[in-house]
Amino acid sequence: MMRGTLYNDGEREKQCGLSLADIDQLESAISETRARLVVIDPLQSFLGATVDLHRSNETRPVLDGIIKLGERRSCAVLIVRHLSKGQGGRPLYRGLGSIDITGAARSELFVAGDPYDASRGIMAHAKSNLGKLGRSLSYTISEEGRLVWGGTSDLVAGDLLGECTPEQQSAVEEAAEFLEEVLSGGAQSSKDVKEQAGARGISFATLRRAQDRLGVIKRPSGFQRSWLLELPSLAQNPPDLLESK
């Protein structure tokens, strides 16, 4: 619970807990600081002891109050919450607490590690009531602890959660067959493989899912920022050795 200070006729009276139900105090603070962004991190810490995060009839009145406050003061409200422990499932149902929290938001973003590159994270747009979904963005954390944006990513929220529809599953199987065909003769440039996949209508995200399924090995080619892709079976038994047996 956030700590606040209670004043009585201008005199400091005592320290007290502050929750999102304390709209008057929050509005006063926003007015005094002329805040344009209010960050609630994490949501469950500021709902109050009597509000159950998983009950929409208890969370919605609190959220409605914050929404109206943001509208009155022309400020954006950013709510941070964690994901539930369940695996898979649609992104909109994976947030901790009631689905009504997602329903109350105009926009929802997912932030998670890149499942194919442990060195970077991905921020993916999962919901928008204001327009079409934006492109996902990649980022890294520098040694100094700074966030460094790395450009757009083809991964979407479902990719970060391991979600895969029957249609996507079929596409991944097709991409896996493509990789086995292209890499059957040995290691190939990742750039060339991506271009060939694109020519066959295979998206980059689907291609990466297939690489992960097959355990495709990615290694430096010797040229700057250039990579080779190789099937694990051929990495252990190169084609020339297989032919000599």
Write out pLDDT tens, residues 78-99.
999 988 876 556 778 888 888 8
Provide the whole-model pTM: 0.64
Domains of the chain: 1-105 (no CATH), 108-163 (no CATH), 166-244 (1.10.10)
Q: Which pLDDT does position 242 carry in this prediction? A: 42
How confident is the prediction for the chain on average, in pLDDT?
Answer: 84
Q: Which pLDDT does position 153 carry in this prediction? A: 87
Mind listing the pLDDT tens digit for each residue in 174-187? 999 999 999 998 99
Q: Give the pair of three-digit tokens for residue 123.
A: 């921020």
Q: Which pLDDT does position 88 carry in this prediction? A: 56
- What amino acid is encoded at 229 in this protein? L
Mind listing the pLDDT tens digit for each residue in 181-221? 999 989 999 999 999 999 999 988 889 888 888 888 888 87
If pLDDT is split at 50, 70 and 90, which confidence band does 227 have? confident
